[in-house]
Structure 1
């Protein structure tokens, strides 16, 4: 059912598809912006609060860890209680936490505010993607919506370092306070612009034990990876966190298999497109996603750039990402999502390899800009394509948790990638170390190309099918380029839980 008709069926009032997409794109921009905007401001935050190197990283990690930890719970809450309701509540909390962070007078208050922002973002992210995928019909309409959403959202990662560089010259507090007006706009406009779709009948309860075990597993794993990057892989705290994560994971699997209302629908575990989508988001973050980390250190530590210069150095890449996002849906419609995603990962690998070979040069235009433009454009196509591929075969009732699984994979891989890159760079990185770091990210991008090419089915001439009802049945929809037959028929069932 088209978005406007579906909305009228649920609420009796018309809605604007353009208005819906605009507010969701702004929300996604805010989520991405808040992840990267603090990078360049970290030295000033550390100086004001007299924080050590290991402590200052928690300004970033405090957000990322809690974001990753609560994503799946946020996704299921979105499916159970309504994406619109969760969007409004989470956006309000996000804005208040940003205000608290900007006004923090002690490091503990700042870190708590960052953690609360991470939890709010974990509720926002799956709600945003679920609202897009349930408001726009599968095929060209949804692909165009994801393209616009991606244009704004993916650009937020690159824009964050640019805006952060500019704002931190005034005060680091503005990198948090800038979130408040955007959050207010979204929270106030949401009741008028977002569709209010009724949650499925009989699915209004959240499996609390599964939610606790799932969140604990992801939190412990994220904490272990973060500690590994600062304290080492064999430190007592790191090992203890990994052991705790393994115990909680075992409890989560056992509980899910015996639950009548599992947190993760068994159908999702045998949806091939979603599995490939999760792998793609992980390898995306391990490659061009973590490129921001390496480049920030390269520019400020090795090349001696100040905050403004470092931020402006990212600007061409941000523009390339935005351009790519704006044409990504058309690229998918021409090539199909399999070839679009494969070639995007190939472009990522090529750009990162170029950067790896040019780290000894000191001329920005000659040695850095070409690689940034290549990875920027490929980054933009990758971001849109992987969500088109990953959510194409997920039923509406599972869109929240499906998108949450993809985003959890993305940020967990980001934490793992940072831990690995810290080892590769060493305590005092030189040009050779940065070359090795870029090579590591290029290998992850190459693995993404292999996964996309062999994991996704070839595009058909007639169209693709997508899951639509509670039993996993399919209906033929417009061509998404995602495959030539229902995805769930291509994959044998595994891990079915007892209902």
Structure 2
């Protein structure tokens, strides 16, 4: 029974990661068919990432309140409906609305998945194994998205949405058959705080978009940035007063969770956003067709799987923080290679960097969640998982907006250097003394 639980949960995570990256290769086709410019097309990514990040902690509280199993089934159904609407979209507004609905559904689904893993598998080897499988599938989904997107876009970009439907049907039915439908607790759901946080994130990303198209001194840019500042101030005031808090007070005291949250943000600012830069490099600079661009990502996708599979062994031998720090160092090296030679020949310029960053990507993705959830009580696993993923996708949305600003000038080397710097920062965060295992040393005990 537990094996079937893990199959359903891992497949759901594959879907969430896949849908973040599957649109990358399809972006030029979407923009062409629906008349979108680069700044607006960027929102096909951000319209998913921002609601995902903004409502994740609401999803975590809902999972704790109504039960993770029940929320899993409902969120999967919503994701499937939004995918149908996105595939049938006849204009940019409908497409972006569908992506936003997918993001909200993903925000409800992700903490339910992590909560079910945390409550089904006991802390220790069983949970580490489950998270390793889940992480390997999730990291592979992010990498496979660009490959599958290239294959499907050869027929039509609409299939990047329709491909989700059979997966959501299987997960919903599997959830009803195999997942525990326990009742939750009476926790308050902080909807006001989530709306403020989501509005702030939207305003920041929108402000960066306007800065690229209208200029930093534009009244539209300044007004949007000011609105983002006001919403952020309102959100922080509520958190300080405790009147409408997103983050459970007890979670704030867990050091491994704080380190994991920083790691997820820097992961998304580095190898997590690499796909966006490489996709634009291949299609806009080199003129690759979507299928060829997707196939160019195959070596990276394969190495993501290899890296994820090696993580559990590395964690047992070295401990979680050293594994995470080493993976970030590898990522920084691979991204620096791409900055130096990514615009050269594919075999000697892109391929070595893709292989190194792919392996590092798989290790980072799995180990950052192992570390982040390591010391969290089972009852708070959904909320902790939501916090980790909020940091991940919020950082992803902001990073894509920043990279779009840089790439308006066609400077791919600078874009790669920015992601390499984020990976280097991730290594420092993971290596600092506060990230050590509970034993105080990077020992096999830290694998728990």
What is the TM-score of this pair, normalised by structure 2?
0.93
1:441 aligned onto 2:423 = no
Residue 193 of structure 1 and its aligned partner are, at CA, apart by: 1.4
Equivalent residue number for residue 301 of structure 2: 318
Q: Assess if the C-alpha contact under 8 Å between 2:132 and 2:366 holds in 1.
A: yes
Residue 290 of structure 1 aligns to a residue whose secondary structure is: helix
Equivalent residue number for residue 366 of structure 1: 348
1:481 aligned onto 2:444 = no
1:451 aligned onto 2:433 = no
Q: Residue deviations 1:442-496, cap 9 Å, x none?
A: 11111110110005444477999xxxxxxxxxxxxx93437xxxxxxxxxxxxxx
Residue 445 of structure 2 aligns to a residue whose secondary structure is: coil
Residue 23 of structure 2 aligns to a residue whose secondary structure is: coil
- Give the counterpart of 2:250 among 260, 267, 279: 267
Structure 1, 65-74 or 292-301: larger mean CA deviation: 65-74
User: Which structure has the larger Rg?
Assistant: 1
Residue 432 of structure 2 aligns to a residue whose secondary structure is: helix
- Counterparts of 2:357 and 2:387, CA distance in 1: 25
Q: Residue deviations 1:29-86, cap 9 Å, x none?
A: 1011111111111222222222233332222222122212211211221122211111
- Counterparts of 1:231 and 1:404, CA distance in 2: 35
Q: How many residues align?
A: 447
Q: Residue deviations 1:287-339, cap 9 Å, x none?
A: 10111111011111222211111000001110100111122111111110011
- Give the counterpart of 1:187 among 172, 185, 189: 172
Higher helix share: 2
Q: Assess if the C-alpha contact under 8 Å between 2:44 and 2:99 holds in 1.
A: yes
Residue 238 of structure 1 and its aligned partner are, at CA, apart by: 3.4
Residue 260 of structure 1 and its aligned partner are, at CA, apart by: 7.0
Change (3 A) 1:92 1:241: same
- Give the counterpart of 2:331 among 348, 359, 383: 348
- Counterparts of 1:58 and 1:458, CA distance in 2: 38
Structure 1, 52-61 or 21-30: larger mean CA deviation: 52-61
Equivalent residue number for residue 90 of structure 2: 105
- Counterparts of 2:311 and 2:292, CA distance in 1: 30
- Give the counterpart of 2:157 among 172, 177, 185: 172
Equivalent residue number for residue 287 of structure 2: 304
Residue 234 of structure 1 and its aligned partner are, at CA, apart by: 4.2
Gaps of 5+ in 2: none
- Counterparts of 1:268 and 1:228, CA distance in 2: 36
Equivalent residue number for residue 65 of structure 1: 50
Q: Assess if the C-alpha contact under 8 Å between 1:276 and 1:455 holds in 2.
A: no
- Counterparts of 2:161 and 2:401, CA distance in 1: 25
- Counterparts of 2:220 and 2:169, CA distance in 1: 39
**1:149-160 matched pairs, under 5 angstroms:** 149-160=134-145
Equivalent residue number for residue 399 of structure 2: 417
Gaps of 5+ in 1: 1-15, 465-477, 483-499
Structure 1, 52-61 or 145-154: larger mean CA deviation: 52-61
- Counterparts of 1:125 and 1:258, CA distance in 2: 28
Residue 249 of structure 1 and its aligned partner are, at CA, apart by: 3.0
